[in-house]
C-alpha cells in the first residue's frame, strides 16, 4: 500500500469497476506503538489508491473503509455522519485523515468515492475483537483440565456491533445506491453492553467458568459508548437480518470446531 507504483500497476492491470479499500493497519493498540507506520499505511496507502484510480480508472468506484472510532467520544449518541471527528488514537486519527482525503478527492475530481464509517463488526472466523476473544477462551476452557479463568479487560462499555454478514450487505448497498462523496455509518443501530456479551458466551459454556479482569488487557483509549445513527444507511433499503444471539452462537461453535481439530503433525 505504501508503494504508489505497485498500487498504480495493480489498478491498471485489474481495471476494476469498484474497489473496496480495506487495506491498512487495523488495530488501536499497535497504532500507539508505531503511529508513523499506521499513518504511512492508512493515509499514505489511501492516497496511493485514490491517485491510481484518478490516473488509470477514473470511472471506477472507490469505497473507503473508515471507522466509527473517528468520532472519538461523541457528544451526540446515536452518532450521525454530521458529527465532528474527534479521534482519540493514532489509528482513529489516520482513518479520519484518510476519510477527509476521500472527501476532497470526490469534490476535486468528481470521482465516485464513498466513505464508510464502520462501527464494530464480528462473526465466525474473526480474530482480535471482544466477541471472538471471549468465545475463543470459552471454547478452550471447555476442553482444558484445570480452572483457568476467562481473562478480560474493560467490559463496562457499550458497543454497536454488527454481524459481518449483515455489514457486507450494507457496504454493497452503499456502493450500489450511495451518493458519491457522502459518508455512511455502518452499524446495527443498537448499543450492546460488552459485559452482557461476555455473560452470554460464558452461559453457553459446557462447564462453569470463572472470569477475571486484567490490567494488561485495558486500552489506553476506550470510549464508554459507540452507537451509530444508521438513518442514511436504512434510506438505501438496508436493515440487519441476523439476530445477535445467533451471531454469538455461530462464533462460539466456530471456535469449538477449531479446538476440536488436532494440530498439524499431531
Task: Please write the tens of the pLDDT for every residue from 152-206.
Answer: 988 999 999 999 999 999 999 999 999 999 999 999 999 999 999 999 999 999 9
Nearest to 58 by CA among 97, 3, 16, 103: 16
**What pLDDT score does 90 carry?**
97
Non-local (6+) Cβ contacts of 198 within 8 A are 130, 134, 150, 152, 155, 211
Handedness of CA 198, 77, 165, 1 (dihedral sign): negative
- The mean pLDDT of 219-246, rounded to a whole number, is 90
In CATH, the architecture of 4-118 is 3-Layer(aba) Sandwich (3.40)
CATH 3.40.50.720 domain extents, the chain: 4-118
Res 88: pLDDT: 93
Count the Cβ atoms, other than its own, within 10 Å of residue 41: 20
Say what the pLDDT of residue 4 is: 98
- Residue 165 · residue 244 · CB < 8 Å: no
Q: Mean pLDDT across the chain, nearest whole number?
A: 94
DSSP state of 85: P
In the chain, CATH 3.90.25.10 covers: 122-158+189-260
| Cα gap 29→32, rounded to integer Å | 6
For 63, list phi and psi in degrees, rounded to 5.
-110, 110
CA count, 13 A, side-chain hemisphere, 108: 9
What span, in angstroms and rounded, lies between the C-alpha atoms of 98 and 85? 12
CATH homologous superfamily, domain 122-158+189-260: UDP-galactose 4-epimerase, domain 1 (3.90.25.10)
Dump pLDDT digits (tens) for 126-155. 998 999 999 999 999 999 988 899 999 889
Cell of 143: 476442553
Range list of β-strands (E), 93-149: 113-118, 120-122
- C-alpha cell of 18? 469498484
pTM score, whole prediction: 0.90
Amino acid at each position: 500500500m505504501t508503494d504508489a507504483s505497485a498500487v498504480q500497476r495493480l489498478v491498471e492491470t485489474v481495471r476494476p469497476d469498484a474497489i473496496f479499500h480495506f487495506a491498512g493497519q487495523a488495530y488501536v493498540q499497535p497504532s500507539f506503538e508505531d503511529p508513523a507506520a499506521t499513518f504511512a499505511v492508512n493515509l499514505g496507502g489511501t492516497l496511493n489508491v485514490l491517485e491510481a484510480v484518478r490516473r488509470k480508472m477514473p470511472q471506477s468506484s472507490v469505497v473507503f473503509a473508515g471507522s466509527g472510532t473517528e468520532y472519538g467520544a461523541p457528544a451526540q449518541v446515536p452518532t450521525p455522519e454530521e458529527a465532528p471527528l474527534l479521534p482519540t488514537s493514532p489509528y482513529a486519527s489516520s482513518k479520519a485523515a484518510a476519510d477527509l482525503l476521500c472527501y476532497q478527492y470526490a469534490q476535486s475530481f468528481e470521482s465516485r468515492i464513498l466513505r464508510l464509517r464502520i462501527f464494530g463488526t464480528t462473526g465466525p472466523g474473526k480474530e482480535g475483537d471482544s466477541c471472538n476473544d471471549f468465545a475463543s477462551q470459552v471454547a478452550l476452557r471447555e476442553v482444558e483440565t484445570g480452572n483457568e479463568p476467562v481473562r478480560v479487560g474493560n467490559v463496562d462499555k457499550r458497543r454497536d456491533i454488527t454481524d459481518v454478514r449483515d455489514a457486507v450487505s450494507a457496504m454493497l448497498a452503499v456502493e450500489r445506491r450511495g451518493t458519491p462523496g457522502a459518508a455512511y455509518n455502518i452499524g446495527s443501530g443498537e448499543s450492546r453492553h460488552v459485559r452482557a456479551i461476555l455473560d452470554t458466551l460464558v452461559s453457553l459454556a459446557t462447564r462453569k467458568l470463572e472470569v477475571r479482569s486484567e490490567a494488561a488487557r485495558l486500552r489506553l483509549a476506550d470510549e464508554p459508548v459507540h452507537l451509530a445513527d444508521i438513518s442514511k444507511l436504512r434510506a438505501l433499503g438496508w436493515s440487519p437480518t441476523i439476530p445477535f444471539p445467533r451471531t454469538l452462537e455461530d462464533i462460539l461453535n466456530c471456535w469449538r470446531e477449531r479446538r476440536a481439530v488436532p494440530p498439524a503433525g499431531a
